[in-house]
Structure 1
Amino acid sequence: MNIRSLLLGSAAALAAVSGAQAADAIVAAEPEPLEYVRICDAYGPGYFFIPGTETCLKVGGRVRTEGEWYDAYNANSHIGTLWHTRAELSVDTASDTEYGPLKTNTVIRWDWNDGNTTSTKLLWANISLGGFLVGKADSQYNYFMGYAGNVINDDVIYDGPKELNQLTYKYDAGNGFTAVISLEDSNSSSDTSSYGGAWRTGKGDHYAPDVVLGAGYKTGAWTLRVIGGYDSVVEEGAIKARIDADFGAFKAFLMGGWNTNGDKLNKYAGSYLNSNRAACPTNGADCGWGDWAFWTGASYQLTPKLQANAQVAYTDSKIFAATANVAWRPVKDLLIEPEVSYTNWDAADADQWAGVLRFERKF
């Protein structure tokens, strides 16, 4: 064998090995193009498209911690300092349909209080399409009217129910006129009452819902709203009317309520005062409005980061409540809010000073 034959043989062997290795080689697949999260600005800030869908998603919430000194809702409050911490997570979805926006709103709340007491609740969970809403939310008797002031203890004088199941339709004419009708869940599981029997809060074998009906009109700086609620268990109800003025840095409102029967409490003219009836020792109905109630309040933007708020309320049953606070936002989404409240119960010949210092971060 000469050198030339040896070289040719070696080259052939190397070619065979290289061919075999090439046959066994793994060819890497080209990466799929990245799908970045797209912003969805059709429903307001914070929404983005769920990848691969046309549904928009928004995730938010808040973390709050606050110290409370005495209790504005309790004529016999002897609590020195109570510390309370809360976290909320909200998830909203929205998509466009031929019938208008299809939306969901879900809010979960966790609370912790002194004494290691904790609680979790599904605060809101509802579906809306166009003007219709079904599921759990605050009563339209409160929500449509804008609640009762820009203070923490805004409902020492009860202004309506919260957190209940409902079937609601809202109408917006686009010219300042709005209206709402809502069928709301009545407590139809068992016979129950509170405030010494003055408020029948539940009735077994009861099938009728509660009904709320309201309308409003806004023009320029002024807004007028009227709403009524009927408690099908008590077979009584209440009406509220409210006027708002918005002059930019200064905002104010006046709201009045009328109870169809001042000798009874009902869901729309009830009470949030402590259930041991310290505020109404001889007559449970004195914990409510009596025949009527009113609320008035104002807010003034002192600086871009500092706002002053106040609310005063009074009832035919001679309950007086006043609250004032300052809301300081040193940086975006952070709130520091000290508040002081005073309540006087004529029927119990008692009064109470109370305070709150709140820290809250929204996201």
Structure 2
Amino acid sequence: MWRAREAPSSRRRCRFCDAYGPGYFFIPGTETCLKIGGRVRTEGEWYDAYNPNSKNGTLWHTRAELSVDTATDTEYGPLKTNTVVRWDWNDGNSTSTKLLFANISLGGFLVGKADSQYNNYMGYAGNVINDDVIYDGPKELNQLTYKYDAGNGFTAVISLEDSNSSSDTSSYGGAWQTGTGNHYAPDVVAGAGYKTGAWTLRVIGGYDSIVEEGAIKARVDADFGAFSAFLMGGWNTDGDKLNKYAGSYLNSNRSACPTNGADCGWGDWAFWTGASYQLNPKLQANAQVAYTDSKIFAATANVAWRPVKDLLVEPEVSYTNWDAADADQWAGVLRFERKF
């Protein structure tokens, strides 16, 4: 006797949603799992580790983020979306709203807005707030990306990225970059990595189609449980030019870049190194040092204290020296953040 197939119960569907990670739950009447999260952050900043000419002696910054993730099982694997909206409130009633991320992924492919794979795939820099005082690449931009995971520790990525959409476009060119303007060829990012035991090695390159130059980064990570460390180096294909992958955060501060924009970029090379140590279940110490061929030095240290689950209290101190500008800067941050 034929019997109609019984629909899975909501409880079974919720257990299925757990396969996508914690926090997902089943949307009744659909085949979709949903996760809602976010964060609220408020922090006091003392001076600016990125800019010796900053007039901000103190600055209080508050941020809220809301993230919405979806996942649906298909014959090609999970069909996912990721959306993050950010609201910022600064001193002087300066407010902003940003669509931080909005992307779709399926079967290793991702399309939409996300951080450049030049940073995302490499794991950014260290476990400090001011981790990219030495510029380490672009962040938010539109892209078409494919990631490959062999399941044996080997991974690879290739990404076509919008040459005009990055939030960092003003930070690597400005008045010093030639050939800017409308451009219809994408930037290209490609990389590969391998993880075995406590060690991970990754290499990635980015080509800026407007400047027609690029950069390569290589990174080694070691994770021994309570102690972890990394070493990352970057090479600029033309040390006399800034490009999206070997740029600077000081494009608008000419007194800090007395000759040209490249004085605030890498020059031919840059490196970053850092370490973290878990002092106890609630307290972690982090430090990072970075240096460039153009003689920019940046050092940062902090402690991350989590008095209760999902609450972070993080004081940090940074020192930066720009040799070309004969300038230096001490800076500090005290951050409070609650994730959910």
Provide closer, same or farther for how the CA distance between residues 39 and 179 of structure 1 changes in structure 2, counting only shifts above 3 A.
Answer: closer
Q: CA deviation at 1:276?
A: 1.7
**Identical residues among aligned pairs (%):** 91
Report the CA distance shift for 1:37/1:292 in structure 2 as closer, same or farther (over 3 A): closer
Q: Tell me if structure 2 keeps the 8 A contact 1:189–1:206.
A: no
TM-aligned CA distance change 1:37 to 1:217, over 3 Å: closer
Going from structure 1 to structure 2, the CA distance change for 1:205 and 1:274 (only over 3 Å counts) comes to: closer
Question: Does structure 2 conserve the Cα–Cα contact (< 8 Å) formed by 1:193 and 1:200?
Answer: no
**Post-superposition offset of 1:271:** 1.1
Shift of 1:40: 1.9
- Give me the whole-angstrom Cα distance separating, in 2, the residues matched to 1:153 and 1:32: 48
Q: What is aligned with 1:216?
A: 193
Deviation at 1:280, TM superposition (A): 1.2
1:39-50 equivalences under 5 Å are 40-50=17-27
The answer (yes or no) to whether the contact 2:84–2:99 under 8 Å persists in 1 is yes
1:212 shift after superposition:
0.2
Do 2:10 and 2:28's aligned partners in 1 also have CA atoms closer than 8 Å?
no
- Report the alpha carbon displacement of residue 192 of structure 1 after superposing the two structures with TM: 9.1
Instruction: Label 1:172 to 1:29 Cα distance change in 2 as closer, same or farther (>3 A).
Output: closer
Q: 1:32-68, CA deviations, whole angstroms, 9 ceiling, x for partnerless residues? A: 9999977720101000011111210000000000000
Pair 1:113–1:205, CA change in 2 (3 A) = closer
- Cα distance in 2 for partners of 1:66, 1:190 equals 22
Structure 1 Cα separation of the partners of residues 104 and 10 of structure 2: 35
Q: Structure 2: how far apart are the matches of 1:307 and 1:216?
A: 27
Aligned residue in 1 for 2:5: 29
1:273 is displaced (CA, Å) by 2.9
Q: Within 5 Å, give how 1:130-169 maps onto structure 2.
A: 130-169=107-146
Q: Cα 1:322–1:52, aligned 2, differ >3 Å: closer, same or farther?
A: same
* Stretches of structure 1 lacking an aligned partner (at least 5 in a row): 1-27
Query: Would the alpha carbon gap of residues 325 and 208 (structure 1) be closer, same or farther in structure 2, given more than 3 Å must change?
Result: same
SS at 1:175's partner residue? coil
**Greater shift after overlay, 34-43 or 233-242?**
34-43
Contact 1:333 1:361 in 2 (8 A): yes
| CA gap 1:29/1:129 in 2 versus in 1, 3 angstroms | closer
Higher mean Cα deviation, 185-194 or 219-228?
185-194
Give the number of equivalent residue pairs.
336
After superposition, the Cα gap between the structure-2 partners of 1:322 and 1:104, relative to the gap in structure 1 and judged at 3 Å, is same
Farther-moved stretch of structure 1 (70-79 vs 86-95): 70-79
C-alpha separation in 1, matches of 2:331 and 2:138: 23
Distance 1:189 1:269 in 2: 14
Q: Are 1:69 and 2:69 matched, yes or no? A: no
Q: When the two structures are superposed, what TM-score results if normalisation uses the length of structure 2?
A: 0.93
Deviates more, 1:279-288 or 1:201-210: 201-210
Q: Secondary structure at the match of 2:55?
A: coil
Q: CA deviation at 1:78?
A: 3.3
**What do the CA deviations read for 1:321-363 (whole angstroms, capped 9, x no partner)?**
0000000000000000000000000001110000000000000
Give the CA deviation at 1:29. Answer: 27
Cα deviation for residue 283 of structure 1 reads 2.2
Output the CA distance in 1 between the equivalents of 2:333 and 2:167: 37
CA deviations over 1:117-164 (Å, ceiling 9, x no partner): 000000000000010000000000000000011100011000000000
CA distance in 1, matches of 2:122, 2:62: 28
CA gap of 1:115–1:177, structure 2 versus 1, over 3 A, is: same
Q: Which is greater in Rg?
A: 1
Q: How big is the alpha-carbon RMSD for the aligned residues of Structure 1 and Structure 2?
A: 3.6
In structure 2, the CA distance between the partners of 1:195 and 1:133, relative to structure 1 (3 Å rule), is closer
Give, in whole Å, the separation in 2 of the partners of 1:273 and 1:197.
10
Structure 1 residues 301 and 193: alpha-carbon distance in aligned structure 2, compared to 1, 3 A threshold: closer
Q: 1:233 pairs with 188, 200, 210, which one?
A: 210
Is this contact kept in 1: 2:141–2:162, CA < 8 A? yes
CA 1:189 to 1:61, structure 2 compared with 1: closer, same or farther past 3 Å?
Answer: closer
**In structure 2, the residue corresponding to 1:36 is in which secondary structure?**
helix
Which digits, 9 at most, give the CA deviation of each residue in 1:60-94, with x for residues without a partner?
A: 00000000000001112332210000000000000
Q: CA deviation at 1:278?
A: 3.4
Conserved? CA contact 1:186–1:231, under 8 Å? yes
**Are the equivalent residues in 1 in contact too, given 2:84–2:102 (CA < 8 A)?**
yes
Gapped regions of structure 2 (runs ≥ 5) = none
Q: 2:18 aligns to what SS in structure 1?
A: coil
Residue 87 of structure 2 is matched in structure 1 by 110
* 3-state SS of paired residue (2:254): coil
CA distance in 1, matches of 2:90, 2:252: 19
Is the CA contact (8 Å cut-off) linking 2:43 and 2:60 kept in structure 1? yes
Tell me the secondary structure at the aligned position of residue 173 of structure 2: coil
